[in-house]
Amino acid sequence: MSEVLVVVEATREFGVKKVTLELLTLARELGTPAAVVLGGPGAAAALGDKLGEYGAEKIYAAEHEEIDGYLVAPKATVLAELVRRVQPAAVLLAASQEGKEIAARLAVKLDNGVLTDVVGLAADGTATQVAFAGSTIVTSKVTRGLPLVALRPNSVTPSPAAATPTVEQLDVALGGADKLARVVERVAEQKGSRPELTEASVVVSGGRGVGNADNFKLVEELADLLGGAVGASRAAVDSGFYPHQFQVGQTGKTVSPQLYVALGISGAIQHRAGMQTSKTIVAVNKDAEAPIFELADFGVVGDLFKVVPQAAEEIRKRR
Amino acid sequence: MNIVVLVKQVPDSGADRNLRSDDNTVDRGSANNVINEMDEYAIEEALRIKEAHGGEVTVLTMGPEKAAESIRKALSMGPDKAVHVLDDALHGSCAVATSKVLAAALGQLGADLVLCGAESTDGRVQVMPHMLAERLGIAALTGARKLTVDGDNLTVERQTEEGYEVVAAATPAVVSVWDTINEPRYPSFKGIMAAKKKPVQTLSLAELGIGADEVGLAGATSTVLAHSRRPERSGGERFTDDGSGGTRLVEFLATEKFV
Ligand SMILES: Cc1cc2nc3c(=O)[nH]c(=O)nc-3n(C[C@H](O)[C@H](O)[C@H](O)COP(=O)(O)OP(=O)(O)OC[C@H]3O[C@@H](n4cnc5c(N)ncnc54)[C@H](O)[C@@H]3O)c2cc1C
């Protein structure tokens, strides 16, 4: 069986990202999963066990300071070289900003079609995508080249299937064009132990109704009790209640958790764009006419400042 | 500095949007078409750079006849001129082909700085800046929330999942901007009047040296096989708080095994 290349995403703090495990799970349906680690020296060693646990038969490791020292172009160059050599059955990436950007460059380098924000992929390469704020389902296919697909996090349930990967070091030969966008500084901002927003299985979001930045503690508290990430509506972000990186919606992150809790959010179409495909939706809003209730599997019409503390207390009691 | 801003006309994201039933492309006919919101931030940034450092701002659009409305709207904010890549053969072009066309146009315009929105509200694909940079052999700094221009040197601050990054490149470069970068100006009455007289050049595929078979549905590198409306979610149980709303909420979460 041909190899299916999975481009690995990892964080220093949590190691291999969940979406990569989803990709490995998916890759097993399409061929022999081969993980590609692109990073600084020593990047692959720390990730090998986890990648093997989820079925990577092989790990291609491209490790070089310059891979981390410049934006995506070096990664695309190494990957294009690898694709030309091993002729994989497919290349799978995460539909993160970086995953999509690597895919973009790869598509041009290989003159190959690319599909992003894919939520399902069949063995014959037919992809499912959700378009227009979650209102439309599209099936599509790459018609030139191999399936080059960026998968939206939380689309596949990762399942382990132990393998013992062999590791192959890749040569990193970069040209001038790969080294034009230099990373000057990377600043990690403290965000505690909460899961990453797009990967979390529970997301608790606050809107304008939360009232101010201080009150977002209520949203955070409920998120922590449910083991979830915190999100925010654009109105909450624009009002300075919560940082932009946590915005959910049309111009923010798209999330698709098992549970989405909307607190003081009206449910505008642009907000729905980012959360409509969540499995279960719960809302608290004092306005019975708020459109968010049209989506909610369970809604409480009431004041969030009464409902949320009581809910938090009840969860603690049940522990 | 010679700045080119990429502007895309998209169906309004606040209204119902559809794909066409005949060829599965975006239905632009029945939609209310507007400038892609994020592109307005790119136009604003371009104007601010021109105001601080001098130069010229050109709007570049690829799109059907109708896109001319969005070009005028963009010009009313203040750019000097526009180029409209207009050719019937472009209908249904994929991202890879679109980047080929835009790169050819940018080559003719000789831009020092190409500014664009981080993504469009219709496709949300985020691939264009890097596709263009790859084709033109220039740098791409994407998702800027802050852009500093110092002579030929560009510095961008961009949000990442773990915090933020500072990235730098020399011109020529493509920079895509997020909606946190500035607050776009409203066109003034004077600006709207002036826009009517600003030059808009149209370019055909032939003038760009690209064959009709390389673009459009015929030259697409991917295809939409089918599309359907996602079943509407139907609202479930709604409980009007009588003092036990929080408890009821947790009861629901417990039945769904979330607590
Ligand atoms: C191009 C474009 C892109 C956009 N992108 C996004 C996006 O990415 N994400 C996004 O979220 N929005 C986006 N928007 C904005 C969107 O249209 C809405 O304005 C926004 O989602 C509203 O946020 P909200 O629900 O928090 O605020 P509001 O609409 O003001 O709703 C606040 C809600 O809180 C309720 N409330 C108030 N007090 C309480 C209380 N004490 N207890 C319970 N409920 C209370 C109110 O009843 C109300 O329903 C976009 C708009 C445009 C035009």
Same domain flag for A7 and A151: yes
pLDDT at A272: 94
Q: Is residue A186 part of a domain?
A: no
Q: Is residue A188 part of a domain?
A: no
Confidence class for position A12, pLDDT limits 50, 70, 90 = confident
The helix/strand/coil state of B107 is: helix
Asked if the Cβ–Cβ distance from B246 to A138 is below 8 Å, we say no
CATH code for the domain in which residue A71 is found: 3.40.50.620
Answer yes or no: is the C-beta of A206 below 6 A from any ligand 1 atom: no
pLDDT at A191: 64
CA distance A163 to B117: 43
Answer yes or no: is the C-beta of A205 below 6 A from any ligand 1 atom: no
Which chain B residues are closer than 8 Å to A96 by Cβ? 161
Chain A with chain B: Cβ pairs closer than 8 A:
279
ipTM: 0.94
User: CB–CB of B33/B73 below 8 Å?
Assistant: no
Cα separation values, B255 from A146, A284, A296, A298, B259, Å: 44, 18, 15, 12, 8
Strands of the sheet with A136-142, listed across from one edge: A166-169, A58-63, A32-39, A3-7, A90-94, A148-151, A115-121, A127-131, A136-142, B222-229
At residue B223, what are phi and psi to the nearest 5 degrees?
-140, 145
Question: Distance from the CA of A205 to the center of ligand 1, in angstroms?
Answer: 11
Q: Is the pTM of this model over 0.90?
A: yes
Atom of ligand 1 nearest to the CA of A251: 8
Structural domain count, chain A: 2
Same domain flag for A92 and A128: yes
Q: Is residue A168 part of a domain?
A: yes
Half-sphere exposure of B22 (CA within 13 A, CB side): 6
DSSP β-ladder status, A259-263 and A298-301: unpaired
pLDDT digits (tens, 9 = 90+) for A119-148: 999 999 999 998 887 889 999 999 999 999
Same domain flag for A171 and A287: no
Closest to B75 (Cα-Cα) out of B121, B35, B111, B103: B35
Q: Is residue A184 part of a domain?
A: no
pLDDT at A190: 66
Answer yes or no: is the C-beta of A249 below 6 A from any ligand 1 atom: yes
pLDDT digits (tens, 9 = 90+) for A145-181: 999 999 999 999 999 999 999 999 999 999 999 999 9
pLDDT at B161: 79
pLDDT digits (tens, 9 = 90+) for A225-279: 999 999 999 999 999 999 999 999 988 999 999 999 999 999 999 999 999 999 9
The answer to whether B14 contacts chain A (CB < 8 Å) is yes
At residue B176, what are phi and psi to the nearest 5 degrees?
-105, 145
Same domain flag for A104 and A35: yes
pLDDT at A5: 98
**Superfamily of domain covering B2-214:** HUPs (3.40.50.620)
Which of A179, A211, A246 is where one domain is finished? A179
Asked if the Cβ–Cβ distance from B236 to A189 is below 8 Å, we say no
| Mutate which: A190, A248, A300, A306, vs B, most B CBs within 10 A | A300
* Residue count of chain B: 259
Higher pLDDT, A192 or B71: B71
Asked if the Cβ–Cβ distance from A113 to B134 is below 8 Å, we say no
pLDDT at A188: 86
- Residues linked to residue A34 through DSSP beta bridges, in sequence order: A5, A58
Residue B95 burial (C-beta neighbours within 10 Å; 0-12, 13-18, 19+): buried
CA distance A258 to B132: 37
Atom of ligand 1 nearest to the CA of A236: 26
Cα separation values, A319 from A219, A313, A315, B229, Å: 19, 10, 7, 41
Same domain flag for A209 and A268: yes
Q: Measured between CB atoms, which of B137, B169, B237 is closest to A298?
A: B237
CA distance B105 to B111: 10
Asked if the Cβ–Cβ distance from A189 to B142 is below 8 Å, we say no
Q: Is residue A239 part of a domain?
A: yes
Asked if the Cβ–Cβ distance from A112 to B96 is below 8 Å, we say yes
Which positions 159-178 of B are in contact with A (Cβ < 8 Å)? Answer: 159-170, 173, 178
User: CB–CB of A158/A24 below 8 Å?
Assistant: yes
CA distance A163 to A153: 23
Half-sphere exposure of A245 (CA within 13 A, CB side): 18
The helix/strand/coil state of A275 is: coil
Half-sphere exposure of B180 (CA within 13 A, CB side): 21
Query: Residue of the nearest CA to atom 30 in ligand 1?
Result: A208
CATH code for the domain in which residue A206 is found: 3.40.50.1220
Asked if the Cβ–Cβ distance from A187 to B143 is below 8 Å, we say no
Looking at residue A63, its amino acid is E
The answer to whether A248 contacts chain B (CB < 8 Å) is no
Which of A125, A144, A179 is where one domain is finished? A179
Closest to B176 (Cα-Cα) out of B162, B161, B156, B160: B156
- Residues linked to residue A39 through DSSP beta bridges, in sequence order: A63
Residue B59 C-alpha, separation from nearest chain A C-alpha, in angstroms: 22
The answer to whether B80 contacts chain A (CB < 8 Å) is no
Closest to B129 (Cα-Cα) out of B216, B40, B11, B4: B4
Same domain flag for A78 and A119: yes
Which residue range forms the structural domain that includes residue A79?
A: 3-179
| Mutate which: A9, A114, A130, A132, vs B, most B CBs within 10 A | A132
CA distance B241 to A196: 32
Which chain B residues are closer than 8 Å to A202 by Cβ? 258
Same domain flag for A79 and A142: yes
**Is the peptide bond between B172 and the residue preceding it cis, with omega within 30 degrees of 0?**
yes
pLDDT at B32: 87
Same domain flag for A115 and A208: no
Average pLDDT, chain A: 95
Atom of ligand 1 nearest to the CA of A303: 42
Q: Measured between CB atoms, which of B125, B220, B228 is closest to A100?
A: B125
Q: Is residue A228 part of a domain?
A: yes
Same domain flag for A160 and A230: no
Answer yes or no: is the C-beta of A297 below 6 A from any ligand 1 atom: no
Residue B29 C-alpha, separation from nearest chain A C-alpha, in angstroms: 16
Q: Is residue A86 part of a domain?
A: yes
Closest to B91 (Cα-Cα) out of B17, B5, B28, B13: B28
Looking at residue A40, its amino acid is G
Chain A residue with minimal CA distance to B15?
A269
- Reported for A276-281, long-range contacts at CB under 8 A and 24+ positions apart, including other chains, are A276/A133, A276/A134, A276/A135, A276/B233, A277/A119, A277/A130, A277/A134, A278/A203, A280/B256, A280/B258, A281/B233
Residue B222 C-alpha, separation from nearest chain A C-alpha, in angstroms: 4
Which chain B residues are closer than 8 Å to A181 by Cβ? 139-141, 167-169, 173
- Residues linked to residue B207 through DSSP beta bridges, in sequence order: none
Positions of chain B with pLDDT lower than 70, given as ranges: none
